[in-house]
Amino acid sequence: MIKKEKKNKRNKINIRAMSSICILLVIYFGISAYFTNHFYFGSKIDCVSVSGKTVEEVNKQMASHIKSYKLSLKERDGKTEQITENDIKLKYNLNGEVKKLKDKQGSYNWILGFLNTKNSKMTVGISYDSKLLKEKVDKLSCFDSKNVIEPKNPSFKYSNKGYTIINEVNGNKVNENVLYNNIVKAILKGETTIDLEAMNCYVNPKYTVKSKETTEIRNTLNKYVSSKITYTFGDKKETVDGSTINKWLAVDDNFQIVFEKDKIKKYMNELSNTYNTIGKTRSFSTSSGKTINVGGGDYGWYINNAKETQDLIAAIKEGKTIKKEPTYIQTAVSHSSNDIGNTYVEVDMSRQHLWFYKKGSLVVQGDVVTGNVSSGHPTPEGIYWVKYKERNATLKGEGYSSPVDFWMPFNGGIGIHDARWRNQFGGSIYMTDGSHGCVNSPYYLAKTIFYSIDKGTPVVCYY
Q: Is the pLDDT of residue 100 over 70?
A: no
Q: Is the pLDDT of residue 113 over 60?
A: no
CATH class of the domain comprising 344-462:
mainly beta
- The count of other CB atoms within 10 Å of the CB of residue 58 is 22
Least Cα distance to 282 among 293, 297, 291 occurs for 293
**Which H/E stretch holds residue 188?**
helix 176-189
Residue 110 near residue 32 (C-beta atoms within 8 A):
yes
CA distance 190 to 36: 27
Spell out the domain ranges in the chain: 35-139, 213-283+297-330, 344-462
Q: Is the pLDDT of residue 31 over 90?
A: no
Among left, alpha and beta (phi > 0; psi -120 to 50; other), residue 20 is: alpha
- The count of other CB atoms within 10 Å of the CB of residue 459 is 27
Q: One fold for both 213-283+297-330 and 344-462?
A: no
The residues assigned a catalytic role are: 417, 438
The SS3 assignment for 269 reads helix
The reported pLDDT for the residue numbered 49 is 74
Residue 303 near residue 326 (C-beta atoms within 8 A):
yes
Q: Is the pLDDT of residue 6 over 70?
A: no
- Beta pairing class for 70-74 and 193-195: parallel
Q: Is the pLDDT of residue 114 over 60?
A: no
Model confidence pLDDT, tens digit, residues 311-350? 999 999 999 999 999 999 999 999 998 899 999 999 999 9
Q: Which residues pair with 409 in a beta bridge?
A: 415
How buried is 207 (Cβ within 10 angstroms: 0-12 exposed, 13-18 middle, 19+ buried)? middle
Mean pLDDT of the chain: 89
Q: Is the pLDDT of residue 199 over 80?
A: yes
Model confidence pLDDT, tens digit, residues 32-49? 556 666 767 667 766 677
The CATH number of 213-283+297-330 is 3.10.20.800
The SS3 assignment for 365 reads strand
The dihedral built from the CA positions of residue 63, 67, 73 and 79, taken in this order, carries a sign that is negative
The SS3 assignment for 36 reads coil
Name the band, by pLDDT with cuts 50, 70 and 90, for residue 398: confident
User: CA distances (Å), 7 to each of 3, 16, 19, 83, in order?
Assistant: 6, 14, 18, 75
CA distance 276 to 300: 7
The model's pTM? 0.72
